[in-house]
Chain A
Amino acid sequence: MRFLQVKLQNFRQYKDLTFDFPKNEFDLHIIKSQNGVGKTNLLNSINWCLYGDEPHLAGSADQSLHEDEMLPICNIQALEDADKAGDKSCDVCVTITAEADDKKLIISRSATFNSKVGIQTGKDRLVVKTFPKVGDEIIEQDKEAEAAIESYVPKRIREYFFFDGERLLNYLTGISDDTSKIKDSIYEISGVNYINRCSSHLTDFQNQYKKKISELSPDLEVKAAELQKALDLVTNKEREIRELYAANTAAVKAIEQANKTLDGNERFRDANIRYEANKRQIEKESGDLKEARQELAKFVVKYLPRVMLHDINRDSLAYIDEREKDDTGSSSSRIEDLKKSIEENRCSQCKQDLTLKIIDEFKKEIKAREANPSLKALIEIKSDVRRSLNIDEYDEEKERIMDKIRGLQDSIDDLTDKNDALLKEIEKSDIVTIEAAARSKKENEELRDLNNRKIGSYEAQLKALKQNTEVLKKEYSEAVERDKACGEYREKYKLVTSAKEIVDEVRNTIVDEMKHTMEKKTMEIFNDLLWKSETYGRVEIDDNFRLKLYHKRNDMSCLYSTSAAEKELLALSFTIALHEVSGYDNMLFIDTPVGRVSDDNRGNFAKVLRDLSLKKQLIITFTPSEYSPEIQEILSKRVVASFHELRSEASEDVTTIKED
């Protein structure tokens, strides 16, 4: 898109002004004015016309916060004139005439203000008239008109068409707080945001189908495994029962066989049983007899010396008693009494004081008594002798043991006789075979009974297992039905998953290619425009689409070592590259492009703008000081397609174009 004309009516200090932008060899248009006369408001008027707002109001990052402190966009003098003339309202209108894709466009936004109070009444009115080369004009209003504008100069990326150099530079170098804006803008321009939204919607559907599949058929495999396990249990139980029945058949046969062997031979078997029982009894009683004889031997050892020494012991006890009787008191107690009397010097018997003579006699007696120990020894063994005299239990105990021995011996003899007789009876038959048959019968009967009990228990278990299997079969069938029902969702899930993979892959490819193209294009343009062609080697765009500039000689990042002019030139190169890559190859409106460029580089920058205007429409604003003779020499009359010098009228409320 290139602008043919911008017409302003009652917009801020512009009461009625038209800027025409005719093209010659160059497409460079200069607007020169002092600060405060209206350069930036011209930029605002374009934004207001296209998007309904003014992003370049000084110091107003958020306009809504300062609305009370801002003048209405309607020209103050126009409001006063209307009020004086008795008109209740006054209209503001900005009209942009442009050409794009071989079509002429007239974009017009107007608003009505109350002339007395300067407040807007009603909404803005936006109209886009399109004049195709062939066919009738198309008139679009409001939402349709906004959509038409979006298709040429999208609002989200307007900074790349209508900008001041400083703001753009800040975006590119990451100084701006809103560092994601470039990335968002580029994604928007390139359509990557559409792909991302598409991918996100596909993810939503993926999750939705996944959930549905999970709800409908969460357990088909689990149910199949459960059913198989139950079927296996039934098979195993049936096999176990069959084996028990087979074992019982064999047991019954063995019992029948044993019965045949035992039939008519029970007599022999009973005899054998009795014989074996007697044999065991004889063995037991022989053991008891042996113990009884040992007991008798111990008894004899214990009592024999007492019996044999009974008379001697009786005489010994009588002798000791006699000796004790002869002794005047207990010899030992007598010695104790004597010693005590000597010690107390007083007789313990008569309580008379002792004379030396008596003490001597006492001492002699003590000596005599202590020299005769045999009585003492006799007293010590007296209790043992008395105990040895006790043989009252002997006969009774001896008789008891002897009775026991005799009883056992008689029993053993009796059993032996009986067994001799039984043996004679048994020897007439084949007792080994009979016993084996009897054992076999007993074992097999036990086995049969045990198996029958097991069969009963197993059949009850089998019944329960079969019932469980029926339940699981039903559940499995239902799961199969559900699985069939969610087959549709599986197909859908598969489709959206494949589509998402493709969409994501395309997105990644496009982003990579676009970054690469942008890097290449930016560097090409930068090198083309830069007056120092041998300084910078390459441009890199990182994942957040911030620019990095590398020195040609050492490939070191050097963006912050460049001059303001070079930075601005890099920003310009990026912008132009973006125009080319995105397909939105529009005009550029640059507010005071050399304001931040040092005097040394202003000439170079002017040359860049001149050369760029051969390919693209440039509308540039200058202050008188920026528009120096050096720049005028470069941007000569041949180069400048249109030149507008603005001035304020005496009231300073109205800006007009200064006539040459």
Chain B
Amino acid sequence: MSDVKNSLIEAKIKEATANDKVMQDFILGILGNEYKTTQFTKAYENAIKNAIKAKEGD
């Protein structure tokens, strides 16, 4: 299981983002942050930055 720690949520996110791998990784990443950190702003900013970079690379 990913950092999301909830297989149902993970499965639903994957289902909803089946056609957009970057979006899938981004949402699973930020959801995982909710479980493990209190430094949300920094974690989100990094995740957003990485997702934008990944989208540009597509």
Binding site for B on A (CB under 8 A): 190-191, 194-195, 197-198, 201-202, 205, 488, 491-492, 495-496, 498-499, 502-503, 505-506, 509-510
Contact = CB atoms under 8 A, between A and B. Distances in A.
B52 A510 contact: no
Nearest to B24: A502
A505 B16 CA distance: 9
Contacts of B23: 495, 498-499, 502
Contacts of B4: 191, 194
Interface of B: 4-6, 8-9, 12-13, 16-17, 23, 26-27, 30-31, 34-35, 40, 44, 48, 51-52, 55
Contacts of B52: 488, 491-492, 495
A203 to B, nearest CB: 12
A197 B9 CA distance: 14
A495 B26 contact: yes
Contacts of A502: 13, 16-17, 23, 27
Contacts of A498: 23
Name the prevailing secondary structure of the B interface residues.
helix
B11 to A, nearest CB: 10
A205 B44 CA distance: 9
Contacts of A190: 6, 8
Given A190-B6, A495-B52, 4 more contacts: A191-B5, A194-B31, A198-B31, A506-B12
A198 B12 contact: no
A491 B34 contact: no
A509 B9 CA distance: 10
B30 to A, nearest CB: 6
Contacts of B55: 491, 495
B58 to A, nearest CB: 12
Given A194-B31, A502-B17, A201 B9 contact: no
A502 B16 CA distance: 7
A194 B8 contact: no
B16 A510 contact: no
Contact of A510 (B8, B30, B34, B40): B8
A195 B9 contact: yes
Sorted from nearest, which 5 A-B pairs have the closest CB atoms? A191-B6, A506-B12, A194-B34, A191-B9, A502-B16
Contacts of A488: 52
A618 B16 CA distance: 40
A499 B6 contact: no
A503 B26 contact: no
B34 A495 contact: no
A496 B29 CA distance: 13
A202 B23 CA distance: 13
B16 A191 contact: no
A503 B5 CA distance: 16
A117 B40 CA distance: 46
A505 B13 CA distance: 9
Given A194-B6, A205-B48, A499-B23, A506 B13 contact: yes
B26 A510 contact: no
Nearest to B22: A495
Most buried by B among A190, A499, A509: A499
B8 A495 contact: no
Contacts of A197: 34
A195 B44 contact: no
